[in-house]
Structure 1
């Protein structure tokens, strides 16, 4: 598998993967959001490519604000990680985590954080398997007034 940094040349392929992960999102909006990442010092995406097919991505940001369990800010935070279903269980997500770790180390960070929904048992198990420590579980609420 080849790893590519997000660029204008693979932006459309990234958005295709993003929409597979979050089907409720819209192409144009996500295109605009992710285009802003290109060249950023504090945010990056990497794509995994198998021959000509883009099969995975990881989106990482620098965070300076509160992160549960963090002992050293800023830190790197995985906003999203995704591998196409046909390529799961092949170690690709673990490789994408390694890419995120390397980016964080290059930035001088000593911690990498992430999250998963309470109902995402596969995601929770994956995080634990690749060395993340579970910090807390919460249920968030909001009431429109």
Structure 2
């Protein structure tokens, strides 16, 4: 049985663990701290995906007030990250997380749900397109160290 739970004190640790699998350059402690802030904040949220009581995925949402490529109205609901365990992929579970995000966004009064992906993450790009997201643009980000 698949369930989706909104972030709570009881599941912050599970969401933080899954986040370290998505963002491998982070630690459990960093993600625990981050999701504690998410839990306590006014608008951002996260949802935990469970299959037969096993923690298998999550989606983190925020509200972006500033410029968002392709957004027609600000603020907008924004997908900061979405992850489903490798062994549970291609079963429509990530789409369930997206639909939960859409419900949340609508309940908050937002008219758009935005997201992004690295240019070379073809799996993510394909996933977004299959779920009805439209590409708004492509960018390459630069940094120049000044020391």
TM-score by length of 2: 0.96
Alignment-derived partner of residue 68 in structure 1: 69
Moved over 2 A (4+): none
CA distance in 2, matches of 1:39, 1:26: 20
| TM-fit CA distance, 1:39 | 4.0
Q: Does 1:30 align with 2:31?
A: yes
| TM-fit CA distance, 1:4 | 0.5
Alignment-derived partner of residue 44 in structure 2: 43
Cα RMSD of the aligned pairs, angstroms, is: 0.8
Deviation sequence 1:53-107 (CA, Å, 0-9, x none): 1101000011110000111111100000000000000000000000010011001
Q: Unpaired runs of 5+ in structure 2?
A: none
Alignment-derived partner of residue 60 in structure 2: 59
Q: Point out the more displaced range, 100-109 or 19-28.
A: 19-28
Q: Unpaired runs of 5+ in structure 1?
A: none
Deviation sequence 1:87-128 (CA, Å, 0-9, x none): 000000000000010011001111000000001000000000
TM-score by length of 1: 0.97
Say which SS state the counterpart of residue 24 (structure 2) adopts. Answer: coil
Deviation sequence 1:10-51 (CA, Å, 0-9, x none): 111111101111111011111111111114331000000012
Say which SS state the counterpart of residue 37 (structure 1) adopts. Answer: helix
Say which SS state the counterpart of residue 61 (structure 2) adopts. Answer: strand
